[in-house]
Amino acid sequence: MLVKIKSAAVLGLEAYEIEVEVDACKRLPGQSIVGLPDAAVKESRDRVRAAIENSGFQFPPGYFTINLAPADTKKEGPLYDLPIALGMLLVSDQISNKKMNGSVVLGELSLDGSVRPVNGVLSIALSLSGSKRRILVPRENADEAALVKNIQVIPISSLKEAADYLAGKIKIGLHKVDLKALFQTDPEYGIDFVDVKGQGHVKRALEIAAAGSHNLLMVGPPGSGKTMLARRIPSILPTLSLDEALEVTKLYSVTGQLNGKGSLITARPFRSPHHTTSDIGIIGGGRIPRPGEVSLAHLGVLFLDEFPEFERNVLEVLRQPLEDGKVTISRAHSSLTYPAQFMLIAAMNPCPCGRLYDALQACTCTPLQIQRYWKKLSEPLLDRIDIQLEVPRLKPEEISAMPAGESSSGIRNRIIAARKRQMERFSGSGVFCNARMRPKQIKEFCELDREAENVLKSAIVHLKLSARAYDKVLKVSRTIADLEGEATIQAKHVAEATQYRSLDRKGG
């Protein structure tokens, strides 16, 4: 007897249908799983046996062949436990299949028969969007699946419950979530720019960077507040739209990092990997490719503290995603593309000892040591950073005398207004912020008058800017004008933008 149950798998970020075929024959007891299963899938034989027996069913005798079709794609993870177990119960006539037709089943089984959550449920649910099909998911994944409209989400807690539901013995209501309620609550950050004293020019640069999603590099001695300022950037960023939230949530669902973050991520991601992270950890990859930090920071912030301490090859792999906003990982059997439109915030000391610009302590580094330190950052990488600025350490008397700064909510309101202008400007073009402008848009929206053009030409000569740096200055100028509500870029906007390229040649 042969039974077929629909399930699903995720390749990259996209899901596709898997058909779990269970066939029983009268031979010596045993099981074989075919269809390119990985170790986790093969181990399901022992989990399924224990779950069936501990759920009050009899483990059927005979030899079972379990095929995961299509057979030419690699299957991974424990999400096939539940459909395999149900298939074995159906093929042995222990349950009926009144509601099996059209149902998609997925879930990991514990030895006691309870169903555990699995990864990638949102991608699978999105692949069924509009089909009005029924999907049986672990109860912990139900909120995630219910974000998708026009599908029937059935939360399952145990193998026994799934069997009784499919046999028509019990009824389980469709699971629903209130999307509006999820977006009505503002994220709690716990930190605010109101706590930051002084550093007015740095906060201004961070506001510009956040308004246009520009990359930024902070250089200053230890204790100047670089990390403190960077960690407050999420508090001034606008919340994600629904489409953006689904895109980010899908990335975290696939990598199994959604637990504890709720069913939908509405705050922009903030990733801060340690400088010992490998290039695969940053960019993504592995034997079975997975998203890296650049993709987990999609539509948010990637903060790299101690920038030159990262391995040279790790920093160099950032160049393509910074330019293209995506990462393509190619392997012999497949090629996967992950989104990576993040805002890079980097922080570093000005020299190995960190006291080159420190007014309180003298630097002990030789010019050769300083040069070698800066040479860890290549010119092509620095060219891709829009804003570069020095962060001096405050003097003790300045810290005690200075009043508290502006709150994050006040800064965020200006940024939201600037982002709104950009959304209207780029409507229908696939571009959502100034940092992602293409040459055609730069030419159309960054036209300069004679005075502003003269200021930019002077900066090119004195700072020896590359063609890419020239475009970066225009993009930052456009963002400064947006923050001030100006339709045209003026000379003062270009003058301020060129100030943020002063560190380009520090390593020369």
Range of the domain at 217: 193-429
Q: Which of 213, 212, 226, 238 is nearest to 493 (CA)?
A: 212
CATH number of the domain encompassing residue 223: 3.40.50.300
Say yes or no: 165 and 259 in one domain.
no
- Residue pair 62/27 in contact (Cβ under 8 Å)? The answer is yes
Say yes or no: 136 and 225 in one domain.
no
Say yes or no: 23 and 96 in one domain.
yes
Residue 502 is assigned to a structural domain of this protein: no
In a 3-state reduction of DSSP, which class is residue 183? helix
Say yes or no: 255 and 356 in one domain.
yes
- Residue pair 91/1 in contact (Cβ under 8 Å)? The answer is yes
Q: How many CB atoms are located within 10 Å of the residue 301 CB? A: 23
Say yes or no: 362 and 216 in one domain.
yes
Say yes or no: 204 and 157 in one domain.
no
Query: CA angle, 136 as apex, 60 and 32 as ends, to 5°?
Result: 35
- Our count of domains for the chain comes to 2
Instruction: Provide the whole-model pTM.
Output: 0.90
Q: Given this model, what pLDDT does residue 184 score?
A: 67
Task: Choose one of 394, 429, 464: the last residue of a domain.
Answer: 429
Say yes or no: 378 and 290 in one domain.
yes
- Residue pair 178/242 in contact (Cβ under 8 Å)? The answer is no
**Conformational region of residue 294, where left means phi above 0, alpha means psi within -120 to 50, and beta covers everything else:** alpha
Residue 500 is assigned to a structural domain of this protein: no
Say yes or no: 62 and 152 in one domain.
yes
Residue 485 is assigned to a structural domain of this protein: no
Task: Choose one of 129, 150, 177: the last residue of a domain.
Answer: 177
Residue 484 is assigned to a structural domain of this protein: no
Say yes or no: 85 and 201 in one domain.
no
Q: How far apart are the C-alpha atoms of 17 and 147, rounded to whole Å?
A: 19
Q: Which of 54, 59, 57, 65 is nearest to 25 (CA)?
A: 65
Q: Is the dihedral of CA 74, 112, 145, 168 positive or negative?
A: positive
Query: CA angle, 205 as apex, 369 and 487 as ends, to 5°?
Result: 140
CATH number of the domain encompassing residue 17: 3.30.230.10
Say yes or no: 151 and 278 in one domain.
no
Say yes or no: 155 and 267 in one domain.
no
Residue 122 is encoded by which pair of tokens? 């949102």
Say yes or no: 166 and 208 in one domain.
no
Give me the residues paired with residue 330 across strands: 335
- Residue pair 292/285 in contact (Cβ under 8 Å)? The answer is yes
Residue 183 is assigned to a structural domain of this protein: no
Residue 80 is assigned to a structural domain of this protein: yes
Q: How do the pLDDT tens digits run along the chain, 508 residues long?
A: 789 999 999 988 999 999 999 999 888 888 899 998 999 899 999 999 999 999 999 999 889 999 999 998 888 889 999 999 999 999 998 988 777 778 899 999 999 999 999 999 999 999 998 888 999 999 999 999 999 988 999 999 999 999 999 888 899 999 998 887 777 666 777 888 988 888 889 999 999 999 999 999 999 998 888 999 999 999 999 989 888 999 999 999 999 888 766 678 888 999 999 999 999 999 998 877 889 999 999 999 999 999 999 999 999 999 999 999 999 988 777 788 999 999 999 999 999 998 887 777 888 999 999 999 988 998 889 889 999 999 988 777 666 666 667 899 999 999 999 999 999 999 888 888 999 999 999 999 998 888 999 998 888 888 778 888 889 999 999 999 999 999 899 999 999 999 888 775 443 4
Residue 308 is assigned to a structural domain of this protein: yes
Q: How far apart are the C-alpha atoms of 421 and 434, rounded to whole Å?
A: 10
Residue 221 is encoded by which pair of tokens? 């001695």
Residue 205 is assigned to a structural domain of this protein: yes
Task: Choose one of 177, 205, 229: the last residue of a domain.
Answer: 177
The residue to which tokens 């920038």 are assigned: 307
Q: Given this model, what pLDDT does residue 508 score?
A: 40
